[in-house]
């Protein structure tokens, strides 16, 4: 159980090395170095799997963690401690996250080698993809907010590059800029939050923050009138909102699909959007201390429901997935907010897997038929059987159908939300959280199956648009009869099938549905619930630090083992446990009913066609949804055009009308009077006495100086020596 | 460690006898010993230099399938004496426009520079005139007097050939000093000292302990040193300063008689010195291949013989190279020095340093045969 | 005895060559006398037990500076230039005339008197010390000093040398015409 | 014969000679020669004091730095001289008057 730099660093370093090699020599390598990038991620995966195995399969205790630090720079001077440490922090959550990121990223890389083949941006794509992955892995390994922020920004840059990789398309460039600028809003707040934390405890390491919370260092500290914990927590959460595309800052994510689909898979599924949720989970004690959980839950609920409604009317297959991502991220935030730490993280993992699979499947569809508008697709089931299978598994998962992973994780979140909203005795207005959550779940089931039915079922509508087919570059590829039958291929659809295996719920929960009702593999499979829990801050007080290079001195036998006891039953000492259990049971049944209802309506609408799509009944609302609640318009037309330009106009009016007319012109009038006086003064006093007099004086003085300032170096030597000698003679040493 | 020849000899009994003969005057005795040793070494080196001219002619003749000198003495061995007599009896010509002072000074400086290096040449572990703490450094420093003399010889003659030869010579010598010095620095690094005694004491025993086999970088450093030393002594293929076909005879075109002899002698002795230094630094010098743990005078002479053998073998290689390789152009000469030898020498230096750190100062032989 | 002999010879060489530098009219000879003077100073260093400094002195000056100066003299022709510019004392040739020497000697006299005053005090303050003939090696200690106490100056001097190298190459580089 | 004062006297003679050379000569190279003499006088003082007064080797290190600086100074100085000669065809110091007036 030796954890040294040697077996942790490759996780992060091997993709970085691949990035460096590809960036400089990628063009000279065979296949532009895509195999190198894939191999590097596989190496990361191997090392991550080792850590995962150690942490999860009974080696370590629930609250075990590895924390190794080294001093990055030390400017301490006397009593002023000014020292920045960097380091690695791995606990159960990070171990699971590492495995998920490296595994999903590896499959995405593998898929990309097929998807991006013969693409003109092939090489550039495989420069940024490993860098992106390494940044996410580094973020997970980080032990403090500072290095987290560094990797956070690297990811921002990489997402900017990947979204805008087709830099000849103007829309791609705009989308990349939009993503970059929108997330920057959050990043500024994150930095502000870090500064606030640094002010209090002089460190941004997780363990120091936890210890400070436990010691009550935040108590009584205020910033601009509000509690510092609230301020810092809010700022950090705003950073997470930007990255995880939460409600006001969600606008960048739908546009991010301008990039290649595997890149979207990496951004939307495994890495970047997960970072915000991951950060919120890491800072959960701070959020609790700052009393922000209700705020997080409300934001999450609004996002979950709002994005789901927008997804109802999208016709682009990737847009549907993009909005569903926002919606699911909302669920994760609900989970964070309602205190269901473990379920929120589980949803992060399950969502990462099935959303990666969904995006890759969408990529497979797009690559096969060169079309991504759903009304022009249909009946692809018989052409793309493997893709259809994988996508169906994932759709079942995201829709919350029992036995699939999405049901397990989402249902736990919703169960906790139900308790949070109705039973916990909070503000009654917070009941909006479970209501919006359940409504969003139903809509999710509906729009996902709408997408499946439109794409894979019904008759093939590919032939109907021959008239404008020539607009596309690959004119002869998109006729319906030209679609080739899909074959099993290690690079194109095996990654999808591997991912779809992990959409089953049993991998994550101890029972088939995750409610502890039908237990399959015994208690031990309930590992997720046991191993992941909110950090107990008291534990981190005065925790010793380990030097970076040191090997782990603890003997394996002495380490406390994780106990797989009956924690899963809600029969603890808390009197509310019974209520929580009831809420979960009610929630489970409600979500099953709602999910099936959604699927059934979709079936009626798009297969049986017995119900007309509702769009015709609410034309105005549909228009609103199609325009994504006018958020883009809000930002561009209202905030930028009305707000900023209005301010601009006001300022210019102030400048020209008020300042120029009164201040400048008035000052000129005053000056005119002064001018008369000063002219007289100038002529008489300055010119006659001052200037001419000075000239005469300088001329006189010049006669002396000219001799001394001869420009002859030897004369200067002589002066130097004489002065020095006279000095020595006078001071009498 | 023996600091000087006198302190070495003072450990033997006959030193006390000699001291008694000199009336207990240690200074006078030391002075006498140094004087005799200096005369012996200068005489020996002059002979080696003279024989060098003979060897050069004989070997070149051999390479060109000629007979070479064979009239004076057995096998023409006394040819160099005949040459010397001829030179001394020739008329000493001074060009009318020459700078007389510098014209006289230049050959002297050449001989002074070369003979001064003999003070630290390690003939054996005991027979060193002075085992200075800065031995190698001193040797490099003082031998640069030869560069000044070449330049002055070229300038003082007031002739275009000489001037060009002198300028070429001076620039060549100060340029090639850099790779040579850096190569020697690598050896200094390996031995941990600049005195020849320290360097030789690290190379005792079988040839695997020689510094040339210490590590791959030292192996390369030897060749850098050899090439640089060839150029520093103005030997072919680096004999630009005295290129016969271009500059008549370079910086000593206008010199005749014994002044020319001084230049020639200085050149041949310097070749011997750099060969000896190469043998001492890289090839184990006069170390016996076995360690007897006793120190008697005959063993010292055996060491001298071994040292001479190695140095003269290198001397043979130098002559061989001269009669085998064509001469370089001036630009090639400079680009070899600055673009190849200097970077290689610097890489060698760093490589040696890294080797010392990585392998804890062990040589390749230690690694292969196990440390002893 | 050797040390005294060496001191006497070195001092003689140093002072004699230095004075020759001052009085010679030929700039080339001046350079050569400078070489002699610097060698003499190296000998003085040796008598002071500063073996490393002495050898460095020979290395840098003989191997570098003096040859550089000889080159510079040769590249500039080595002629006895006379200034076209009028100065206080009329035309002065490059190697000086009696007026310039008179001024120089006057200033030298001032310095001499000043320093004699200082040296008188010093000779009282530090009575003569007698050392044996043993000269411990200074190389190790200088090495330690250079990379411990004086490491900043050491590194700065390396930067200085690099700057001088590049600067000299750039300044002396022949420019393209026009 | 050998004492601190004797070294100081040699160094003083060197210094005065260097000063005379610097002042009396109008040849830039000769001025550089004078500067070398003065620098060496200073270095000699350092080493002499190091042996007779301070008993440590800081004086040696100082004189090493002086040698280094002298080398750098002469390299730059001679480069300037050569450049000056290319422009003005003379190395008379009184001709360096381009910045006057």
CB pair distance less than 8 Å for D31 and A713: yes
| Residue pairs between chains A and C whose CB atoms are closer than 8 Å | 24
- State which residues of chain B have pLDDT below 70: 1-2, 241-246, 248, 291-293, 370-372
Instruction: Read off the pLDDT of residues A600-613 as tens digits, 9 standing for 90 and up.
Output: 888 888 777 776 66
A227-265 pLDDT, tens digit per residue, is 888 888 888 998 888 888 887 788 888 887 778 888 888
pLDDT of residue A471: 42
Nearest to C21 among D17, D52, D80 (CB): D17
* Length of chain C as a residue count: 178
Indicate yes or no: CB of B155 within 8 angstroms of CB of C28. Answer: yes
Q: How do residues A319-337 score in pLDDT, each as one tens digit?
A: 888 888 888 999 999 988 8
Mean pLDDT, residues A4-10: 77
Domain ranges in chain D are 4-95
Indicate the DSSP class of residue A506. G
pLDDT band at A519 (very low <50, low <70, confident <90, very high): low
Are A733 and C110 inside 8 Å of each other by CB?
no
Q: How far apart are CA A606 and CA A71, in angstroms?
A: 61
How is A374-412 classified by DSSP, letter by letter? GGG---GGGT-HHHHHHHHHHHHHHHT-TTBHHHHHHHH
pLDDT at A648 over 50: yes
Facing D94 at nearest CB: one of A712, A717, A718: A712
Q: Which chains touch A (3 or more CB pairs under 8 A)?
A: C, D
- Give the contacts of B307 (CB within 8 A, at least 6 positions apart): B122, B123, B124, B276, B279, B280, B285, B286
Q: For residue A478, what pLDDT is reported?
A: 44
DSSP states along A411-432: HHHHHHHHIIIIIS---GGGGH
Residue-wise pLDDT tens digits, B280-320 = 888 888 887 776 667 777 778 888 888 888 898 998 888 88
D100 Cα to chain A: minimum distance (Å): 7
For residue A402, is pLDDT > 50? yes
- Alpha carbon separation from C20 to B333, C35, D7 (Å, rounded): 37, 11, 19
Query: Which pLDDT does position A404 carry in this prediction?
Result: 84
Q: How many other C-beta atoms lie within 10 A of the C-beta of residue B15?
A: 17
Q: Is the pLDDT of residue A383 over 70?
A: yes
Query: D22 near D34, Cβ under 8 Å?
Result: yes
Inter-chain CB proximity C110 and A710 less than 8 Å: no
Q: For residue D1, list chain C residues with Cβ-Cβ distance below 8 A.
A: 4, 7-8
- Percent of chain A beyond pLDDT 70? 83
The lowest-confidence range among A91-105, A564-578, D76-90 is A564-578
Q: Which of D18, D19, D20, D32 to mutate to test the interface with C (most CBs of C within 10 A)?
A: D20
Residue of C nearest to B144 (CA): C63
The residue whose two tokens read 């502000």 is A192
SS3 A466: helix
Would you identify the CATH topology of the domain D4-95?
Answer: Helix Hairpins (1.10.287)
User: What is the pLDDT, as a whole number, of residue A557?
Assistant: 52
pLDDT over threshold 80, residue A16 = yes
Per-residue pLDDT tens over the stretch A661-691: 788 888 888 988 999 888 888 887 888 777 8
Asked whether the beta carbons of D44 and D7 are under 8 A apart, the reply is yes
Residue A496 corresponds to which tokens in the numbers above?
């999808």
Which ipTM score applies to this complex? 0.66
Task: Give the pLDDT confidence score for residue C12 in this predicted structure.
Answer: 92
Q: How far is D74 from chain A (nearest CA, A)?
A: 17
Q: Which two tokens stand for residue A714?
A: 């030897």
Q: How many residues does chain D have?
A: 101
Whether residue A714 and residue D100 make contact (CB cut-off 8 A), yes or no, is no
Residue C72 above 70 pLDDT?
yes
Q: For chain D, which chains pass the contact test of at least 3 CB pairs under 8 Å?
A: A, C
Q: What residues pair up with A316 in beta bridges, in sequence order?
A: A373
Q: Give the integer Cα–Cα distance in Å for B111 and B118.
A: 11
DSSP-assigned beta bridge partners for residue D92: D27
**Contact with chain C for residue A712, Cβ under 8 A:** yes
pLDDT recorded at residue B286: 81
What is the pLDDT confidence band of residue D41, given thresholds at 50, 70 and 90? Answer: very high
Nearest to A175 by CA among A260, A106, A86, A247: A260
Other beta carbons less than 10 A from residue A17's beta carbon? 15
Phi, psi for D81 (deg, rounded to 5): -60, -45
Angle value at C-alpha A624, between A622 and A627, nearest 5 degrees: 110
> Which residues 58-87 of D have a C-beta within 8 angstroms of C?
58, 60-61, 63-65, 67-76, 78-83, 85-86
Q: Are A4 and A551 in contact (CB under 8 A)?
A: yes
Strand partners, B130: B4
Residue A551 C-beta-side C-alpha neighbours within 13 Å: 7
> Would you state the pLDDT for residue A472?
43
Show which of residues 16-75 on chain D sit within 8 Å of chain A, judged by CB atoms: 19, 22-23, 26, 31
Q: Yes or no: say if B306 and B288 are a contact pair by the CB < 8 Å rule.
A: yes
CA distance B144 to chain C (A): 5
pLDDT value at residue C15: 92
A711 touches chain D (CB under 8 A): yes
d(CA A314, CA A312): 6
Closest residue to A712, CB basis, from C87, C110, C113: C87
Quick one: tokens of A594?
A: 């709602």
Chains B and A touch (3+ CB pairs under 8 A): no
Residue A556 has pLDDT above 60, yes or no: no
Architecture in CATH for domain C1-77: Up-down Bundle (1.20)
Cβ contact B–D (≥3 pairs, < 8 Å): no
3-class DSSP state of A732 = coil
pLDDT of residue C16: 92
Q: Do C51 and B134 touch (CB under 8 A)?
A: yes
Over the stretch A32-86, which tens digit does the pLDDT of each residue have?
Answer: 788 888 899 999 999 888 888 877 776 556 667 778 887 777 777 666 677 777 8
More confident residue, C172 or A438: A438
Considering only the beta carbons, identify the residue of D23, D97, D99 that sits closest to A717: D23
| Between residues B37 and D92, the one the model is more confident about | B37
- Residue-wise burial string across A543-553, b where 16 or more C-beta atoms lie within 10 A, e elsewhere: eeebebeeeee
Mean pLDDT of chain A: 79
The 10 Å CB-count burial string (b at 16+, else e) for C118-139 is ebeeebeeeeeeeeeeebebbb
**Chain A residues touching D97 at Cβ < 8 A:** 711
| A451-498 pLDDT tens trace | 888 888 877 776 554 444 444 444 444 444 456 666 777 777 788 888
Q: How near does any CA of chain C get to the CA of B197, in Å? A: 14
Q: What is the DSSP letter of C68?
A: H
């Amino acid at each position: 159980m030796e954890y040294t730099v040697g077996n942790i660093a490759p996780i992060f370093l091997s993709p970085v090395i691949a990035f460096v090699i590809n960036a400089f020599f990628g063009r000279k390598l065979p296949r532009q170095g895509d195999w190198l990038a894939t191999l590097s991620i596989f190496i990361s995966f191997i090392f991550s799997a080792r850590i995962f195995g150690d942490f999860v399969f009974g080696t370590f205790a629930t609250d075990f963690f590895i924390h190794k630090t080294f001093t990055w720079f030390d400017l301490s001077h006397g009593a002023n401690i000014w020292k920045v440490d960097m380091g690695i922090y791995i606990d159960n959550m990070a171990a699971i996250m590492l495995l998920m990121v490296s595994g999903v990223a590896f499959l995405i890389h593998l898929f990309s080698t097929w998807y991006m083949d013969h693409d003109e941006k092939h090489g550039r794509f495989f420069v940024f993809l490993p860098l992106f992955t390494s940044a996410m892995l580094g973020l997970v390994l980080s032990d403090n907010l500072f290095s987290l922020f560094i990797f956070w920004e690297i990811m921002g840059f990489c997402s900017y590059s990947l979204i805008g990789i087709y830099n000849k398309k103007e829309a791609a460039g705009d989308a990349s800029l939009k993503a970059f600028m929108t997330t920057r809003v959050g990043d500024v707040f994150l930095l502000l939050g870090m500064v606030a934390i640094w002010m209090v405890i002089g460190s941004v390491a997780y363990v120091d923050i936890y210890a400070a919370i436990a010691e009550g260092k935040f108590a009584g500290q205020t910033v601009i009138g509000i509690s510092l914990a609230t301020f810092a927590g809010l700022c950090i959460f705003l950073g997470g909102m930007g990255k995880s595309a939460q409600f006001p800052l969600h606008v960048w994510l739908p546009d991010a699909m301008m990039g290649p689909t595997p890149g979207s898979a990496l951004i939307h599924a495994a890495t970047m959007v997960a970072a915000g949720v991951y950060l919120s989970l890491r800072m959960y004690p701070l959020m609790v201390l700052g009393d922000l959980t209700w705020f997080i839950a409300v934001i999450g609920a609004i996002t979950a429901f709002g994005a789901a409604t927008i997804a109802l009317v999208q016709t682009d297959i990737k847009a549907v997935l993009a909005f569903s991502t926002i919606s699911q991220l909302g669920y994760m935030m609900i989970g964070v907010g309602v205190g269901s730490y473990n379920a929120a993280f589980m949803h992060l993992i399950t969502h990462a897997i099935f959303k990666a699979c969904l995006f890759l499947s969408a990529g497979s569809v797009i690559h096969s038929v060169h079309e991504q508008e759903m009304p022009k697709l249909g009946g692809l089931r018989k052409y793309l059987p493997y893709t259809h299978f994988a996508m169906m598994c994932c759709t079942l998962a995201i829709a919350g159908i029992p036995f699939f992973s999405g049901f397990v994780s989402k249902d736990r979140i919703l169960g906790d939300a139900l308790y949070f909203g109705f039973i916990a005795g909070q503000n009654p207005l917070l009941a909006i959280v479970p209501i919006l959550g359940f409504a969003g779940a139903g809509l999710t089931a509906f729009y996902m199956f709408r997408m499946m039915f439109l794409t894979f079922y019904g008759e093939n509508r590919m032939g109907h648009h021959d008239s404008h087919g020539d607009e596309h570059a690959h004119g002869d590829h998109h006729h319906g009869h030209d679609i080739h039958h899909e074959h099993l291929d290690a690079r194109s659809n095996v990654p999808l099938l591997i991912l779809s295996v992990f959409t089953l719920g049993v991998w994550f929960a101890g029972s088939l549905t995750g409610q502890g009702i039908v237990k399959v593999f015994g208690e031990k499979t309930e590992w997720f619930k046991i191993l992941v829990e909110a950090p107990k801050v008291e534990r981190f007080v005065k925790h010793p630090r380990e030097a970076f290079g040191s090997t782990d001195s603890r003997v394996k036998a002495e380490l406390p083992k994780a106990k797989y006891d009956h924690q899963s039953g809600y029969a603890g000492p808390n009197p509310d446990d019974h209520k929580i259990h009831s809420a979960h049971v009610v929630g489970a049944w409600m979500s099953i009913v709602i999910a099936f209802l959604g699927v059934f309506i979709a079936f009626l609408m798009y297969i049986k066609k017995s119900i007309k799509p509702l769009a015709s009944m609410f034309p105005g609302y549909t228009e609103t949804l199609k325009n994504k609640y006018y958020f883009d318009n809000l930002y561009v037309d209202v905030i930028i055009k009305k707000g900023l330009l209005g301010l601009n106009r006001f300022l210019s009016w102030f400048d020209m009308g008020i300042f120029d007319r009164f201040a400048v012109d008035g000052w000129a009038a005053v000056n005119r009077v002064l001018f008369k006086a000063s002219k007289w003064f100038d002529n008489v006093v300055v010119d006659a006495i001052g200037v001419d007099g000075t000239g005469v004086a300088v001329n006189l003085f010049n006669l002396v100086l000219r001799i001394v300032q001869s420009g002859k170096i030897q004369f200067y030597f002589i002066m130097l020596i004489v002065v020095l000698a006279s000095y020595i003679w006078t001071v009498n040493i | 460690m023996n600091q000087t020849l006198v302190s070495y000899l003072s450990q033997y009994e006959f030193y006390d006898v000699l001291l008694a003969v000199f009336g207990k005057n240690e200074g006078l005795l030391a002075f006498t010993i140094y004087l005799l040793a200096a005369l012996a070494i200068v005489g020996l080196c002059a002979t080696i230099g003279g024989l060098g001219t003979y060897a050069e002619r004989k070997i070149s003749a051999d390479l060109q399938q000629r007979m070479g000198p064979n009239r004076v003495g057995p096998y023409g061995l006394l040819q160099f004496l005949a040459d010397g007599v001829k030179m001394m009896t020739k008329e000493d010509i001074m060009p009318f426009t020459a700078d007389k002072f510098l014209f006289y000074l230049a050959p002297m400086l050449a001989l002074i520079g070369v003979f001064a290096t003999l003070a630290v040449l390690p003939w054996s572990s005991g027979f060193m005139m002075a085992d200075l703490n800065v031995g190698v450094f001193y040797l490099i420093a003082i031998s640069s007097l030869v560069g000044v003399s070449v330049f002055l010889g070229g300038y003082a003659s007031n002739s275009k050939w000489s001037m060009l030869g002198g300028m070429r010579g001076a620039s060549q010598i100060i340029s090639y000093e850099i790779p040579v010095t850096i190569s020697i620095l690598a050896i200094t690094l390996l031995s941990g000292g600049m005195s020849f005694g320290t360097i030789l004491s690290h190379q005792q025993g079988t040839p695997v302990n020689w510094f040339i086999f210490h590590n791959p970088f030292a192996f390369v450093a030897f060749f850098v040193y050899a090439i640089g030393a060839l150029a520093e002594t103005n030997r072919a293929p680096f004999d630009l300063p005295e290129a016969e076909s271009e500059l008549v005879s370079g910086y000593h075109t206008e010199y005749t008689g014994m002044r020319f002899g001084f230049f020639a002698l200085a050149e041949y002795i310097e070749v011997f010195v750099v060969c000896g230094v190469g043998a001492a630094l890289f090839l184990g010098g006069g170390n016996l291949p076995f360690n007897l743990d006793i120190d008697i005078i005959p063993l010292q002479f055996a060491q001298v013989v071994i040292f001479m053998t190695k140095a003269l073998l290198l001397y043979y290689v130098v002559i061989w190279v001269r009669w085998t390789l064509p001469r370089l152009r001036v630009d090639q000469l400079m680009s070899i020095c600055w673009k190849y030898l200097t970077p290689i020498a610097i890489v060698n230096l760093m490589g040696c340093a890294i080797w010392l750190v990585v392998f804890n100062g062990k040589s390749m032989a230690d690694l292969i045969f196990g440390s002893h | 005895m050797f040390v005294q002999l060496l001191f006497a010879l070195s001092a003689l060489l140093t002072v004699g060559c230095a004075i020759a530098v001052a009085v010679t009219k030929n700039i080339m000879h001046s350079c050569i006398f400078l070489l002699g003077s610097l060698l003499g100073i190296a000998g003085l260093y040796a008598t002071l037990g500063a073996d490393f400094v002495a050898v460095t002195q020979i290395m840098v000056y003989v191997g570098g500076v003096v040859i550089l100066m000889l080159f510079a003299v040769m590249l500039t022709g080595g002629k006895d230039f006379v200034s076209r510019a009028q100065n206080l004392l009329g035309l002065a040739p490059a190697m000086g005339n009696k007026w310039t020497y008179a001024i120089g000697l006057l200033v030298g006299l001032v310095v001499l008197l000043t320093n004699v005053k200082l040296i008188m005090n010093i000779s009282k303050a530090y009575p003569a010390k007698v050392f044996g003939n043993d000269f411990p090696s200074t190389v190790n200690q200088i090495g330690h000093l250079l990379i411990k106490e004086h490491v900043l100056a050491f590194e700065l001097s390396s930067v200085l040398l690099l700057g001088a190298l590049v600067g000299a190459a750039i300044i002396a580089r022949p420019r393209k015409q026009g | 014969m050998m004492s601190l004062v004797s070294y100081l006297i040699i160094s003083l003679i060197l210094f005065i000679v260097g000063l005379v050379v610097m002042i009396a000569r109008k040849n830039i190279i000769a001025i550089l020669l004078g500067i070398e003499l003065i620098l060496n006088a200073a270095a000699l003082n350092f080493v002499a004091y190091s042996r007779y007064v301070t008993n440590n080797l800081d004086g040696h290190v100082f004189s090493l730095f002086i040698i280094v600086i002298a080398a750098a100074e002469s390299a730059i100085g001679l480069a300037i001289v050569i450049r000056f000669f290319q422009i003005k065809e003379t190395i008379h110091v009184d001709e360096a008057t381009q910045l006057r007036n």
